[in-house]
Amino acid sequence: MQSMDSMQDLVQSMLLDLYAAERQALAFMPKMAKKAKSQQLKSMFEEHQRHTEMQCGRLEEIFQQLGMKKPPRRATHPVISALAKETEQMMRAGGDQSVIDAAIVMAAQKLEHVEIASYGTAVEFAKLLGEKELAKLLAKNLDEEERTDKKLTKLAKSSINPRARARSN
């Protein structure tokens, strides 16, 4: 981690973290999609994977605009690493597939919430620094993360969670 001597340093550090988080999410989404039984859930992961690739592209554009070196693709984000480990353990534990789908949605929403909090803060910091174009690009990513979270909530409430509950009775 670099020294935090200015808001610019903090923003750059956040951007590097966001890029690492998105790259890790890209690597992990296919595993969750493969393990999911719900076709709707599988489709949602496929759609979100395309969005995540675009988000990485926007972050790379920001790095270029700021004259930052693009981070290595294998950089890791500690929170995302922990969530991925937790999710892998849940998926390996086995059990009723309907309950596993509910656990996968829960894990995906945890990931989305970390990203939403990070992008929201990054947008506000960019605005504070007068970086309007940077704020716009980050806001696009934030919007996509929020829409994904809402879609996951709707899917969970409408079918995934009720199915898992029915299997538990």
Q: What is residue 126's predicted lDDT score, i.e. its pLDDT?
A: 95
What letter would DSSP give residue 159?
I
The answer to whether the CB of 83 falls within 8 A of the CB of 107 is: yes
The superfamily (CATH) of domain 7-168 is Ferritin, core subunit, four-helix bundle (1.20.1260.10)
What confidence tier does 50 reach under pLDDT thresholds 50, 70, 90? very high
Q: What is residue 44's predicted lDDT score, i.e. its pLDDT?
A: 93
Express each pLDDT in 97-131 by its tens digit.
Answer: 999 999 999 999 999 999 999 999 999 999 999 99
Express each pLDDT in 18-44 by its tens digit.
Answer: 999 999 999 999 999 999 999 999 999
Domain extent listing, the chain: 7-168
pTM: 0.91
Which element (helix H / strand E) includes 69?
A: none
Cα–Cα distance, 28 to 10 (Å, whole number): 27
Which residue has tokens 């294998």? 74
For the beta carbon of residue 165, count every other beta carbon within 10 angstroms. Answer: 12
Residues with Cβ < 8 Å from 78, sequence gap 6 or more? none
One-letter amino acid at 153 equals: T
Q: What is each CA distance from 36 to 81, 123, 136, 156, in whole angstroms?
A: 20, 33, 34, 13
